[in-house]
A and B are shown apart, each in its own frame.
Chain A
């Protein structure tokens, strides 16, 4: 398992837990707290590790099925969690928690597509 796949699974697991956590917060009528933003930062680090891993692998001669689509997903996934953080600061109601749930699930789904595209490249190589 390379860094992209491993980092991807770790990021997906972390996203799922973060969505669950934020979901409980939304049900309890609470706004996003700093600890949740730190958890989001951990997910972001995993995404960046994955991106660096992809660059290393590609530099090592690995084929990628659709590079623009792959990097499009990676870049947008990296941008989503900071957007949730902005909302968490601006909106001190339960709706910041709902936003975090939506964003975490969106990153999770995008991560699925990233791993799909990554393994497609392996098949072609």
Chain B
């Protein structure tokens, strides 16, 4: 007969598993987007303020999303939902607009052509982020366990 420990005996943080890879990819992309957009905005911001300003703003949102996903706390999970959804809406909106109104986004922004200039990573990441947020939800996990 084995005695299962009752109650919160194990206080170690659980392994994130596959989510950890997602967080790292988010982080790398956030740094890359911030560096590129920051450089574009400073070096040639006057040429296309909308495209480069949008890129810089979305880069900051990617950084916040990375922090929120990595922290995984109750409040920051809400921030995670908001920022990842914002990225999804952004990439879809700007992706469609850059096809129907190409003159609005003459210069490449991070979301132009559904993230074409960034290997479509901006299009894929929000879906993975939402999937991870749903999968790792404490409410869902506790229901699955019980």
Q: List 18 A-B contacts (CB under 8 A).
A: A68-B43, A69-B39, A76-B31, A79-B31, A87-B20, A91-B15, A91-B16, A91-B17, A92-B15, A93-B15, A95-B18, A95-B20, A98-B18, A98-B21, A102-B24, A102-B28, A103-B24, A103-B28
Q: Contact residues of B with A, CB < 8 Å? A: 15-18, 20-21, 24-25, 27-28, 31-32, 35-36, 39, 43
For the A-B complex with A72-B39, A79-B31 known, give 10 more contacts whose Cβ atoms are closer than 8 Å.
Answer: A68-B39, A76-B35, A80-B28, A83-B28, A90-B20, A91-B16, A95-B21, A98-B18, A102-B28, A106-B28
Q: Which residues from 46 to 91 on chain A have a C-beta closer than 8 Å to any C-beta of chain B?
A: 68-69, 72, 76, 79-80, 83-84, 87, 90-91
**Chain B residues, CB < 8 A from A69:** 39
**Shortest distance from the beta carbon of A71 to any chain B beta carbon, whole Å:** 10
Task: Name which residue of chain A comes closest to B20, CB basis.
Answer: A91
Q: B17, A99: Cβ atoms under 8 Å?
A: no
- Which chain B positions have C-beta within 8 A of A83? 24, 27-28
A-chain residues with CB within 8 Å of residue B17 when the two chains form the complex: 91, 93, 95
Give the docked Cα–Cα distance between A102 and B27 (Å): 12
In the complex, which residue of chain B has the Cβ closest to the Cβ of A69? B39
| Cβ contact within 8 Å between B20 and A99 | yes
Contacts of A92 in B (CB 8 A): 15
Cα A102 to Cα B23 in complex, Å, equals: 12
Is there an interface contact between B39 and A96, defined as CB atoms closer than 8 Å?
Answer: no
Shortest Cβ distance from B63 into chain A, in angstroms?
13
Q: How far is the CA of A57 from the CA of B61 in the complex (A)?
A: 38
Question: Whole-angstrom distance between the alpha carbons of A76 and B38 in the complex?
Answer: 14
A91 to B21, CA, bound (A): 10
Q: Which 8 A-B pairs have the closest CB atoms?
A: A91-B20, A72-B35, A98-B21, A99-B24, A99-B21, A95-B20, A93-B15, A95-B17
Q: Which residues of chain B come closer than 8 Å to A72, judged between CB atoms?
A: 35-36, 39
Q: Cβ of A79: which chain B residues have Cβ within 8 Å of it?
A: 31
Closest to B19 in A: A95
Collect the chain B residues with CB atoms within 8 Å of residue A87's CB. 20, 24
Nearest residue in B to A84 (C-beta to C-beta)? Answer: B24
